[in-house]
Amino acid sequence: MSALTKEQFGSDFKWGVSAAAYQIEGANDMYGKGPSIWDVFANTKGKISAGQNANITCDFYNRYIYDLILMRGMNIRNFRFSIAWSRIFPEGMGRINRAGKDFYNRVIDFCLELGIEPWITLYHWDLPQTLETKGGWTNREIIDWFSDYISFCIKAYGDRVNHWMILNEPMVFTGAGYFLGLHAPGKKGLANFLPAVHHAALAQAEGGRIIRSVKTDAIIGTTFSCSYIEPHAFTESDQAAANKMDVLLNRMFLEPLLGLSYPFKDLKLLNRITPYMRQDDEAKLAFDMDFIGIQNYTREIVRHTPFVPYVYAKIIKADKRNVEKTVMGWEVYPESIYYMLQKFSSYKQIKNIIITENGAAFPDEVIDGKVKDEKRKVFIKNNLKQIFKAKSEGINVTGYFIWTFTDNFEWAEGYKPRFGLVHVNFRNQKRIVKSSGHWYRQFLT
């Protein structure tokens, strides 16, 4: 197959990059911002690799003009970023921080001045800490708190922003944050996980309804992490384990949104969510999104095990399988994105799919002032081939956003994994466009 061109995807295909407020902004306790759960978690000893935090990170709050000019110089015309809830509402609700409101006005206005379309994610994991003290996502009141926050954002910015995403990867922030305790707020156990899941699923749909009621022409979506799941062996037990993991990682938040309810029959664990459900909740879980954002990085190989309660399934890590992997320990498997596009497109309720995140972290080195990240460039090219294959077969995929523009704070992994098209020296904030970034610029020309 000859090298793909941008034109082969069609003139309406959206090309961009994605980022998240906590991972790039810095200024964590400045300009009126209140603490988020990630501010607290990352500044708690032992929670983050090498004791790092995102108090400064890329300093996007103070350097957004430079970064956006750099982005425009790379021919990137779509920028997906999130709003930090506690920068707008320092206590999570009530009092508005004008400096925070004005910051996002400046970012949006400068994007538009440069010809960059802003795509806003309303929740990318940084819940205000004051709301976490009230139970966070385990407290059903969060649906009202989140609704008020969304209502403010759409009224404040909806005159200039057309594309909105409600949640970023709800399975990750509920699973890692409220079951495994690996992410903020560091809670563990089913008693935290199940109510958090249900309330996030309700908030996801309610957020869509609020935006639609305020801005009828808004283009509304939400984003899901997803991985292609395969059984380790084609035995009945391994296939059953893979099916359960598929429910957990790929279907649990998607199907209720589509009006199909939770997949209770395929994962008995979900029956334990019913005590948190009220009358009419099942109908409230559904909303007709204009698009679904899928975020794919790898595949997972699953085997049966009696030692993991509830699911009796275990993911076999890439380093145990002698396959190429990234710094995150994820297998390099471009076909995964093709299979996930097939899977999501099989739901007749999904009208439009956008790849809202795809990328890879590799060991980048600055040599003579340059970063030659050939592995990342090959990774992106191979994934684009798989996306084009799906599109050529009639799957309605209409956009591709690379994760991410600049190297940043990678949650519990700190600064070691570098996903960016642009290298950041976190000591002096110097930016260097990597070879993958130069390639993307040329591709988009």
State the amino acid at position 103 in one-letter form.
F
Tell which residue, 187, 82, 78, 169, has the closest CA to residue 132.
Answer: 187
The residue from 25, 255, 300, 357 that is catalytic is 357
8 A C-beta contact, residue 397 and residue 353 = yes
8 A C-beta contact, residue 77 and residue 115 = yes
**169 part of the active site:** yes
State the amino acid at position 150 in one-letter form.
I
**236 part of the active site:** no
The residue from 132, 169, 255, 410 that is catalytic is 169
Dihedral pair phi/psi, residue 63, rounded to 5°:
-120, 15
Distance between CA 84 and CA 199 in Å, rounded? 20
Which tokens go with 362?
Answer: 């590799």
Distance between CA 81 and CA 124 in Å, rounded? 9
Tell which residue, 66, 100, 105, has the closest CA to residue 84.
Answer: 100
Dihedral pair phi/psi, residue 6, rounded to 5°:
-60, -40
Among all residues, which ones are annotated catalytic? 169, 357
